[in-house]
Structure 1
Amino acid sequence: MTVKITHIDTWIVDVPTIRPHVLAMTSISRQSMTLVRIYTSDGVIGLGEGTTIGGLAYGDESPEAIKLTIDQYMAPLLIGQPLIDPAAQLTPIRSTVVGNHFAKNAVETALLDIQGQRLGVPLSTLLGGRHRERIPVLWTLASGDTAKDIAEAEAMIASRRHNIFKLKIGKRDLRQDVAHVAAIKRALGDEASVRVDINQAWDVVTALRGAAMLADAGADLIEQPLPRADRAGMAHLTRLSPIAIMADEALRGPLDAIDYVKSGACHAFSVKPAQAGGLFAARDVAAIGEAGQIGIYGGTMLEGSIGTAASAHLFATLPSLRWGTELFGPLLQTEDILAEPLEYRDFALTVPAAPGLGLALDLDKINHFRRDAPSRTVSTPGRQENA
């Protein structure tokens, strides 16, 4: 009997964060995740996630738009179709839906999850196989308060959860921001690496001054200091900066990666599956970076556990992760939506080993945080579901 895709669910789930997360363009106190479940006629269910940061303040896709795109444009291309290899299943979507990378990533992840479960192998095997079982993970200090950030970082080091830290700066005067970074680096000393993320807030002149000042402060790297369209500025800055410059928001897929390598516009790539348009596209971005001697860093859109696990499977397959990863998204949320949360210990994340993504949802948590929960769901105590 031919196995088919029978239906697709999409839910927006809003989970509060443990503290405000301050970026250059916005601040968030909850994370809104668009979760996808693809059902097959033989009972296998695949999971995916589409998550952005701060709605439309950060990028051009919102949780609501991701859900609408999947429901109205992608689901009709999949429902009722025979279940085949994910690459072939995605072909009509890629040819009829332009852009919408976050939505495409969510659906691609769910299809790969199904394939892994049916074959009895982890998703990382479908992506080429692992180089590592555990992945180093940094923590972002984004309260904006120097004393709080120092205390938070010291607690992370003491508990052996993180010893690499990224600071979100760019909203304040340059001298204030650098003083904030320098104070944290002094307090942590050599036992911690400190990087900064500007989220496109600087111009070239500010970035040149900032790079010199941050190098003196002991920072290791500056992430996306200039607007994503300013590739010439990024190339100029990369040539002159005393510390590493990383591209993030500017990398929207393999073509951007090629252009950045050709123009020498960065020293490092922040690889994000959602931003690239899916796990396959992100793998291509990383391969292009490696070929161009660009250091690879596993980025995040502050995804919850589903998107984080998918990224972890991909990053486990990469030959090199020179700058580590920042797959801390689930740790920023007050509640985890999994029956068994991902394992973080000894400064690293353990990549799930079970077939597919290797995850099981806690449906009580999902139902509690779903936007449509009051009118559409009934919670059963202790209910869990494998996916």
Structure 2
Amino acid sequence: MEDMDLLARFENVEDLSDPTLIDDLQMVLEQIQAEDEEFMQILLDKKESMVVTWEQPWYQEPNCLTRPLKVKDDVSQDYRTDTICSEEAELISKNWKDFRKTYGVPNKPACLARWRNKDKSRHPNTPEELVRRFIMAYLARGLNRTIYQVYKFFITHYGNRFKGRYSVYEEKIMLVCMYHKPKNVVPYLSAVLGREPRGIYKKLLQLSNGKIIERNNFKWTLPLCTTFLKLLMKYTGEPLENLQNKRFGTSIWVQLEEAMGKEHLCLQMFWYNSLHVQLFVRCDIKINKLRKKILKKLKLYPYKIWSDIRWKEILEHFPDGFTHGFLYKTTSNIFRKYKDYRQTPLEKLIDYGLKRIKTMPNKRLKTLILNEKQELEIINYKK
């Protein structure tokens, strides 16, 4: 998905709970990562010819690429430590152009700048690290700079393409991520938006009223759910039966956040994706049977891949009380271990899912009711 596609998709987003939004972003991230890995493989194929044939100053010889050079007190520091200037930046650009021409690689500096050695050993002698270090040494030719300085400049200059004020669609993308909370949200957004992680973090703080964005791993116990529900009824002024399918303004969620000490987006997601279903679905639901029904309903639509699915359309086939977020979450859990499921043909994915369900624990939906003491308890459908 190109930048213009992202703009069209996210600029006018209103419903942050739409699960297809985070799916689209995940697809963008996967495409970026695939492009980066493909570029690294091109470089690895040329590793044998990457030999330093020029004379290097001593401060460009150390093997470690990602750590500053440590200099002993008795060694003269004859390299620059100030910010890389425009003249030096031009020389780095020229060296990159020479490198591409000499080794016949595509002009994709962003791929190299974004690539991280996450799954492999970070030992300096691994092929990936040898390649990266050679390229940075090549770019440092003619500069009174360490390899580390050139590497940091390269990452910032080429990996983070965009500077300045954040656009409306970028802020919407951030809000979507704040709602759905993917892992490692800052590097996630940095890759998708092409911006510096530090700036992303500061913007997230601003959008969340100065609170650090973290994944909420607390457990929703029955007493905690009861407290949440009572507060929701209190702040809305509505009885339980009037809360079904109702949307609440931000002010309500902020009040709940202050009362419960938990981020309001987390509370909002819990309500629409879990508790709402548990309160308003009034029948015995076996999760695997529900999953099977969802997959069969998906066959009725002309969806080609996962991200084509419009879960609000699928919701029309299910009784009152269900939410599109719950259907999405329940179904996506089937494919958590299926690599690249978002880009797999949906017909193939459905066939896999129908087989996978047979191996999954067949749990019941824990439907809840307020008892005489006005406390939530689980409805027992078992005879």
TM-score (normalizing by structure 2) = 0.23
TM-score (normalizing by structure 1) = 0.23
- Higher-Rg structure is 2
Normalized per residue, the structure richer in helix is 2
